[in-house]
Amino acid sequence: MAHLVSYTYKKEDKKIPFSYRTFHHIYEAVAAEEGIDLTQYMIMEKQVEDVSKGTKAVREFRKNHFTKLGFSNVWFIKDGIEE
C-alpha cells in the first residue's frame, strides 16, 4: 500500500513517500525532507503532551509550529486518494 504526503513549503507544492516505520507523523516526514532539525521541537512537543489531557493540544501545537516554519496544506494520501 503506497503512502504519500502532499504539502506546500514556501509556496511550492510537493509530494513525498511516507512510512510509519520511519516517522511518527507526517509533519516529521516533511521536516526531514526539507532538512529541518526537529530535536528541540520534539522535546517541546513531549512537554505539551505530558501536561495536556487530550490530543487536541498536541495537534494544535504541531500545526502552529509547522505553519511558522513555512509549511501549509500538509495532507496524508493513501493509495493515491487524498484523505
In tens, the pLDDT along 43-57 reads: 999 999 999 988 899
Q: Write phi, then psi, for 48 (nearest 5 degrees).
A: -60, -45
Domain that holds residue 48: 3-82
pLDDT in tens, 1-42: 568 999 999 999 999 999 889 998 899 999 999 999 999 999
Q: Where are any strands of DSSP class E within the chain? A: 3-9, 12-17, 71-78, 81-82
pTM of the shown model: 0.81
**Whole-number pLDDT of residue 30:** 96
Number of domains in the chain: 1
